[in-house]
Structure 1
């Protein structure tokens, strides 16, 4: 499974366009902390959303496969005086959590799983970790984003301190993408350090995600798109799923 390495150092600077607050409010609307207290944030990354959930009254734990991401999250949470237990674990090996009220898998983290079997295993383990009536919230890249938008690379970025060249190519499996990213990051001595990262993502059509959720035992499945509570269209880029145990 792909995970973030050195990319973790520049992740926040490159993700300023993600409306984290909208994501948090989406969860809070359907699972308010007054009724759904214990929340596990899978793919918690640098801790931005975990901190936001704590501020709304949730008892939050964070989980991520990347030690680099968790190190940054730990520092952020410490500076903010927020207590969030952090765990380094692959989501398809989830274990040790019981009676959770809410589980989130934000910002296409589920697309880093290598195949459908790993996705199914992840959903089944989450179902087992939730209490009756608990809810799962996650989003995934749409087929349109994987097959069309990502194929328009190269993508470039330069803010004077971070520069990257992002190349993509279609993977062997349907609706999968190999990402090759070359970074130049300015250091304190004003010189630039070069490093590369390689990631792999795969997604599935909406019906397949629904079937996997149902197979895991979930019901009351709701599907929306692109941070708004509207039905997906052919050109939606991010598909949102909400399901209940």
Structure 2
């Protein structure tokens, strides 16, 4: 099953899949980063916005927010959640905006959905063109050279008479520019057990590579992946929050 087929067929489960995500804390943290590093503007675009959960919080923080995603069923849900926002179907590797943005975000490691380093580079160029001077581009990333293929994250919750279990893990073979995000969703009810599995091909980069790709466009701040405090990322960290300020 392809990435888009999974998210199209199971778009109704997406918010459940991400039920352990603290959208409010993430949005508030990036708002603080925009205040510290940015130009003070409130025009905001969320790339790979999914069902619009982050957009909802930015709207409530006073931003004029919009979202872009490659999946229409996700955008349909986002429009219901955030009727005052504009949502556009598109590829974050190549997009344009009608007006310059002050803040562009990409949460939940979705920047890795760019399929190659070339596409990632094109995405960064598109972000640069879409930002106003002094605007902030903020996203989180995982370092390919720090991935432990044995680790996985899992959580379960009850939903409409069934128990849903979600499991995700990163996998990197140790070479090349692709890694995988492995997903499994299991639905147990009194009648049957259903299971969906997929493996998403995603771009693999080190933090040194990311910094090199971003540096022609931005002043890059590599921060610890911690939405409660602002501290530099340690050299051995496996994930990070990148704050990139357009020159």
Q: Deviations over 1:2-55 (max 9, x none)?
A: 443334322222323323223212221132499311100111111110000000
Within a 5 Å distance, the mapping from 1:114-129 to structure 2 comes to 114-129=115-130
- 1:99 maps to 100
Which residue of 22, 27, 33 maps to 1:30? Answer: 33
1:115 CA displacement:
1.1
Aligned-residue CA RMSD in angstroms? Answer: 2.9
Counterpart position of 2:51: 46
CA contact (8 A) 1:140 1:203 kept: no
Hey, what's the Cα distance between the residues in 2 that align with 1:127 and 1:104? 12
Alignment of 1:208-227 (within 5 A): 208-215=209-216, 217-219=217-219, 221-227=220-226
1:68 matched to 2:67: no
Maintained 8 Å contact 2:109/2:142 = yes
| Aligned length, in residue pairs | 235
Q: Structure 1 residues 154 and 62, CA, compared in 2 at 3 Å: closer, same or farther? A: closer
Match of 1:183 in 2: 185
Q: Which runs of 5+ in 2 are unaligned?
A: none
Unaligned runs of 5+ in 1: none
Judging changes above 3 Å, is the alpha-carbon distance between structure 1 residues 38 and 154 closer, same or farther for their aligned structure 2 residues?
Answer: closer
- In 2: Cα distance, 1:230 partner to 1:15 partner: 26
Indicate if the aligned counterparts of 2:116 and 2:177 stay in contact, CA closer than 8 A.
Answer: no
